[in-house]
Amino acid sequence: MPTRADLRQCWKPSLRGAGIGSFIGVLPGAGPTLAAFLSYAAEKRVAKDPSRFGRGAIEGISAPEAANNASTQAAFIPTLALGIPGDAAMAVLLGAMMIHGIQPRPEFFTLHADLFWGLVVSFWIGNLMLLVLNIPLIGIWVRILTVPKRLLFPAVIFFICVGVYSVNNNPFDVLMVIVFGLVGYVMNAFQYPTAPLLMGFILGPLIEQHFRRALLFSRGDMTTFIDRPISAAFLAASVLLLLTMALPLIKRLAARVAERKRVGAD
């Protein structure tokens, strides 16, 4: 069980993670993986000592888990209200609903109130069952960490290759797993973060698909992305975020240039 010190240390990261996860979950196609990575990156950025992350920092566990759970629940909103799956699991649920003749739409919550409230109750039951299963069995899960890496890593890679091959029965997919595994190893060796690559891999195809769709609807008019307040606000927020992340780098470069000029003048 978590101690009072653990609870004091992780309640703020959990709230931040839940907020990030709720926002990401509402976005169609984003999914809990993106929410967890963004929450982890946000906690590492606001932490007083970022070096603790990756070495047992409780904030690095509570925030991504809260974001993952919040994103999974929030993904039901676009799925049920608009018929747009929030992630792969929601796509399966959407297909099952359409097989039974249930059409997701804004009136879903009143036309199919029994199904909607049944889902809400299932959320509570599912989370309670997680507590019942995980807390007593935490000792078993922790024992996994005692498995030697020389045995654990090959087993993980084996199951990854089996899962990838089972999707399309194509050996080329297994080769891609090996290639990207080597890319990840090289990035970790040179201390390049892998999370942005994973997020780009997840969001890249979605961005291209919806960008082309928007241009088709607007007949090639690029102003379609700023003529509505919501889309303009998202673009402005994206630009502001990029500038916020770039400013510290620009300041460091300017300081280095000024230092070199000062040394040269001396």
Model pLDDT, residue 195: 66
What's the CA gap between 180 and 197, in Å, rounded? 11
* Domain range annotation of the chain: 1-111, 147-192
Distance from C-alpha of 63 to C-alpha of 192, rounded to nearest angstrom: 22
Max Cα distance, the chain (Å)? 80
Tell me: the pLDDT tens digits for 130-183?
A: 888 877 888 888 887 788 888 888 888 889 888 888 878 888 888 988 888 888
| Stretch 47-59: mean pLDDT | 77
Closest CA relative to residue 71, chosen from 113, 23, 38, 37: 23
Mean pLDDT calculated for residue range 244-261:
80
Dist CA 92 CA 102 (whole Å): 14
Residue range 180-203, pLDDT digits in tens: 888 888 888 888 877 677 667 766
Which range has the worst mean pLDDT, 22-31, 74-83, 122-131, 248-257?
22-31
CA atoms within 13 A on the CB side of 157: 15
Task: Convert 155-168 to b/e letters by CB count within 10 Å (16 or more is b).
Answer: eeeeeebeebeeee
**Cβ-contact 68, 20 below 8 angstroms:** no
Q: Determine the average pLDDT of the residues in 240-249.
A: 79
> For 83-92, 104-113, 205-214, which range has the lowest pLDDT when averaged over its residues?
83-92
Give the pLDDT of residue 249: 79
Q: Which residues contact 4 (CB under 8 A, 6 or more apart)?
A: none
Confidence of residue 88 (pLDDT cuts 50, 70, 90): low
pLDDT band at 233 (very low <50, low <70, confident <90, very high): confident
Question: pLDDT at position 247, please?
Answer: 80
Residues 6/58, Cβ–Cβ less than 8 Å: yes
Residue 215 pLDDT class (50, 70, 90 cuts):
confident
Residue 123 has pLDDT above 80, yes or no: yes
| Tens digits of residue pLDDT in 2-38 | 778 777 877 888 888 888 888 888 776 667 777 888 8
Rounded distance, CA 103 to CA 35, Å?
28
Question: Could you tell me the two tokens for 14?
Answer: 């959990």
Task: For the beta carbon of residue 193, count every other beta carbon within 10 angstroms.
Answer: 12
pLDDT band at 57 (very low <50, low <70, confident <90, very high): confident
Mean pLDDT of the chain: 81
Whole-number pLDDT of residue 229: 83
| Whether residue 114 has pLDDT greater than 80 | yes
The structure's pTM equals 0.57
Residue 116, judged by CB atoms within 10 A of its CB (0-12, 13-18, 19+), counts as middle
Q: Quick one: pLDDT at residue 91?
A: 72
Orientation angle between helical segments 195-217 and 31-46, nearest 10 degrees? 120
